[in-house]
Amino acid sequence: MTWIVGGGGACAAVGDAAMAIATRTAHCVVVYRSIAMGQFRRFGRALAGDVVGVRPQDAALGFALPFGLFNATIGMALLVRRHMYRYGTTTEQLGHVAVTFRRHANLNPAAVMHDRPMTLADHAAAPRIVEPFGLLDCCLETDGACALVLVSPERARDLRHRPVYVTAAAQGTGPRYGCGAWAMHYMPEEAYTTGNTRTLAETLYRTAGVGPHDLDCAQLYDHYTGMVLLQLEDFGICPRGESGPFAAEGALAWPDGALPTNTAGGSLSEAYIHGLNHVVEAVKQLRGVAVNQVPDAELSLVASGSGIPTSALLLRR
């Protein structure tokens, strides 16, 4: 299985594959993502001559493109800026997210940024892109690929590697969301400083019979540092408005943080493969073979791209 949209689809593809196997529609499914950016264009850029208005969802772009809202960086920056205004979140707290994930990548030989350390001073001095984001708040642009194989639990018992189980899967958004890439900007004020993953969180925890306190690690979609903070709150990992201090206190860091997060480096420092590498890292953690291994990890949350129609998984060993 593959998907045609951006970062919201990785967990959905895995969930759909699991559903196909559970209903005996399929016996073995490969979920993959491959990106070769040099083949067409880099993300975040508009193409001259792009035609708007030929698809049903393009109608909403008439309220976005003429005012400069033409890429994800701008769209997510608005959400995070509002969070800063509302809760006092700071750019230094964003920096702690970036530095933490870079340290994880520095220990991961497969990470693009394996040999490039980062400090808070580096983060603060980076060129500004769209306030409050600087260059080091934004995910990498990389070529790469990864894949997962899904089979039934009965079949998995005969395979060479320790199986990891899809405990819960969810996709979609809350009832006040629209469709398309700018749906987050149609929300009422009380929901605006979210990553549109609160409904997913409720579904996942209810389905699996667990809560955020049961998580051993998390792989959150880090297209931008600030969106990690919004996901921490949406998934109940910390209270609303407290994700900035939570990150600054080292809660996301391996090995001693309260919830080691993006332990391979994430999209900010390992590679940007639309988040399927986050699922791969969760599988490694639960098998006990990760580079930055969380001791005795049993349950991992994986979240796909927030701020757009999205999806999430709970995986268990």
Domains annotated on the chain, with CATH: 10-49+58-316 (3.40.47.10)
Question: What was the pLDDT predicted at 175?
Answer: 66
32 is a catalytic site residue: no
pLDDT in tens, 231-288: 999 999 999 999 999 999 999 999 999 999 999 999 999 999 999 999 999 999 999 9
How much is the average pLDDT of 207-213? 97
Question: What was the pLDDT predicted at 11?
Answer: 95
Question: What was the pLDDT predicted at 194?
Answer: 82
221 is a catalytic site residue: yes
Check 177, 205, 224, 272 and give the catalytic one. Answer: 272
Residue 231 near residue 220, CB atoms below 8 Å: yes
Check 177, 205, 221, 224 and give the catalytic one. Answer: 221
